[in-house]
Structure 1
Amino acid sequence: MKLTKIGFLANPIAGLGGALALKGSDDISWNDLGSLIGPGYKKALLFALILKERLKEKIEKVEFLVPDGMMGEDIFKRFGLSYTSVCSPNYPSTNLDTKNCAMEIKKEGAEVFFISGGDGTVYDVYTQVKTSIPIVGIPSGTKMYSSIFAKSINAAAILLEDFINENYVLEAGEILLVDENTIRENGSYRELFRGIAYTIESKNNLLHQQTKDLSYSEEESLEEIAEYVNEIVNDKVPLIIGPGRTCSKIAQKLNIKKDNVLSVAAGYKGKTYCSDCNSLQLSNFVDSLDNLDLLRIIVSPLGNSGYLFGRGNHQITGYILSKITIKNLLIVGSRNKMSRLKSLLIDIPKSNKLLTLSGYTRAIVGYEEEVVIKVELA
């Protein structure tokens, strides 16, 4: 029986930079993070669990080519999935280990490559395989602007199943890498690399995110939105203000300090609690509130992907979202952006507590101008 060879690699610290308000983890060593384990590893575990449940008897037809240890072997061993170790990365691992293992996985004949991480991890793999192997990103990083990322972990598992069943099409996807240092320093985006890779798409469903638009929305629309939010919010309302150009404009109007365009801020109108909050600071802020009904989380979907949470704003965790309902959200976005989106998505591990965030709500697109849009779990 011919086995389908699936390449797999996880970046164990991918995504930690989001919760820690670092805007990414490209230049951060494992030692600097206290050897913490990030979403890149935890979401890889969930991916393997979903695979085991979905594939069942088909799992015998698959050979996973993985690195030793936490970058692959530990994950598949935990769930009793068949695998072959093809490389021995160092621990703590670096991007050089990612590149070396990607090359070995390619040499062993991988037919498709699944990567748990963010743009940096995907880029490192791409430098070694280029267009020789289709790449699918399992969304786990802080920055995920590339269009080769699946919409969710479950969507990535469906893509793998469709690949095995030959129910897929080969498509071109974009690899995009931005400079974390310029984001940290002044909140601006500077592209370091933009290239084309191959990925796979299901014949039945659209399971990939679209490339995110890093350009700024029209200034007039942002000014209208900021002015309207300033009028409807009073100084008794506790606020969490998410990343993005629109939210930064609103923070400025509300006189709440926000360090840069990717920062998450919290406080009250005219009073800043934290200007570049990490997840712990936000949790403490929420826990300190006597009346959670008053809390408003001002958030804007980033670019064309339509994600409200789980992409680029990991500081706002599932713990925080589990305490609120859709009524606590103050969604904002330019007319052009909102007109392109059919729905808004939340990519947070699903639980019954998050169901209160699903449904139809209003989004502010101008001064006293709103649209109705659906929010759903990815």
Structure 2
Amino acid sequence: MKKLGLIVNPIAGMGGRVGLKGTDYVLEKARALGALPQAPNRTVMTLKELNKIKDQIEIVTCSGDMGENEAKKCGFKTRVVFASPNRDTTKQDTFDAAKKMLEENVELLLFAGGDGTAIDIYNAIGEHLTVVGIPAGVKIHSAVYASSPKKAGELTLLYLQDSVPKIKEVEVMDIDEEAFRRGSVKTRLYGYLKIPYEKRFLQGKKSGSVMSDQASQELIAFDIVDNMKEDIYYIIGPGSTTRPIMKLLDLPYTLLGVDLIHNKKLIKNDLSEKELLEEIGRKSCKMIITPIGGQGYLFGRGNQQISPDVIRKVGKENIIVVATKQKIQSLYGRPFLVDTGDVELDKQLNGYIRVTIGYKEQMMYKIES
């Protein structure tokens, strides 16, 4: 039997859909706003990819929603080596659980969470174990994560079948969430973790916009504003490429949140998923989003307020993607990615989409889930 370590941070990502841009320090507020756990379901999506070798794996894990429940739900032989004494899991729980995995000498440590979880894992094990991250956080800058839960499962399967020859050390990074909520991005490198390296399964680290993008962003904004239609509601996604649109309209904006406008006037800033659904109802609506530089995510990283329900209401045909040529070039030909948490919706979003890259300049670009 191969020993697969599993740690789930069950509260990771809960602040996303309710517009809190993270879960650190605001868990109770997220719950009060109706936030639901995302990490357990995403872990199940990963484990389902291991069904074909289920009889060859023992999952070494933690009690309850920290791994035990998910593993048993998928029918795996499960052994619990850590039980949290807390009602809600903490950073210390993740650290202690990872230490147990090191003692157990698991062949691979699979973990679900966000950047904070990756830091706790790194602090516990350093470079002594090989890991695969299941993306479940709101903002994921670290390169240890697979591009989706399904890809995490596929990569784990290949590794356990000795089909991934290369191991690589990759960055563990995080941002200051409190500064992030105020609209400021402060990143820090914490260290490196070892991962099975197959580029097609991994998301890479995030790269930011450069100053030379500014003119391109302004040209994109002029194109978008010139083509806005009356009586259509526009959802403006987060990012530095969408910000010039709001500036051109002389409207207040939230750089890292989701805003809503109608007839070039502000309806509301920084909406949660619930607020978006209430505001757009059955109204005609379009959505303006930009991919994350270096990673290419359209949905599932940093904009969880734009949930599967919101996307379905808007419709793929009403999604407007904006990106500077520099941002497109930073992908080196890799497709845009979507990881909404809804597998069927991700499949529906696959294909090609029109991207505005300048004033009256557009191109077609591929989307893959």
Query: TM-score under structure 1 normalisation?
Result: 0.90
Which residue does the alignment assign to 2:274? 280
Which residue does the alignment assign to 1:305? 295
Letter in 2 for 1:346: V
Is contact 1:139-1:152 (8 Å) kept? yes
User: What is the CA RMSD across the aligned residues, in angstroms?
Assistant: 2.0
Which residue does the alignment assign to 1:163? 159
Moved more, 42-51 or 149-158: 42-51
Rounded to whole Å, the distance in 1 between the matches of 2:154 and 2:258 is: 33
Which residue does the alignment assign to 1:254? 249
Which residue does the alignment assign to 2:48? 49
Q: Deviations over 1:40-86 (max 9, x none)?
A: 1221122233333xx2xx22222211111110111112222111111
Which residue does the alignment assign to 1:127? 123
Rounded to whole Å, the distance in 2 between the matches of 1:356 and 1:81 is: 30
Letter in 2 for 1:234: K
Which residue does the alignment assign to 2:235? 240
Q: State how 1:102-251 maps to structure 2 within 5 Å.
A: 102-168=98-164, 169-185=166-182, 187-202=183-198, 206-216=200-210, 218-251=213-246
Indicate whether 1:374 and 2:366 are aligned: yes
Q: Deviations over 1:175-211 (max 9, x none)?
A: 11110111111x1211233422211124xx6210121
Rounded to whole Å, the distance in 1 between the matches of 2:95 and 2:293 is: 29
Q: Equivalent pairs: percent with the same residue?
A: 28
- With over 3 angstroms needed to count, the CA separation of the structure-2 counterparts of 1:155 and 1:366, relative to structure 1, is same
Moved over 6 A (4+): none
- With over 3 angstroms needed to count, the CA separation of the structure-2 counterparts of 1:195 and 1:215, relative to structure 1, is farther
Unaligned runs of 5+ in 1: none
Letter in 2 for 1:144: I
Rounded to whole Å, the distance in 1 between the matches of 2:81 and 2:343 is: 36
Query: TM-score under structure 2 normalisation?
Result: 0.92
- With over 3 angstroms needed to count, the CA separation of the structure-2 counterparts of 1:352 and 1:17, relative to structure 1, is closer
Letter in 2 for 1:275: N
Is contact 2:14-2:30 (8 Å) kept? no
Moved more, 347-356 or 228-237: 347-356
Q: Deviations over 1:123-154 (max 9, x none)?
A: 11111111111221111110111111101111
Which of 294, 300, 309 lines up with 1:319 in the alignment? 309
- With over 3 angstroms needed to count, the CA separation of the structure-2 counterparts of 1:126 and 1:278, relative to structure 1, is same
Is contact 1:48-1:79 (8 Å) kept? yes
Unaligned runs of 5+ in 2: none
Is contact 2:3-2:108 (8 Å) kept? yes
Indicate whether 1:14 and 2:9 are aligned: no
Is contact 2:13-2:39 (8 Å) kept? yes
SS at match of 1:323: helix
Residues paired across the two proteins, number: 363
- Once the 2 structures are TM-superposed, how far is the Cα of residue 115 of structure 1 from its aligned partner? 1.1
Letter in 1 for 2:324: S
Which of 347, 362, 373 lines up with 2:354 in the alignment? 362
- Once the 2 structures are TM-superposed, how far is the Cα of residue 288 of structure 1 from its aligned partner? 4.0
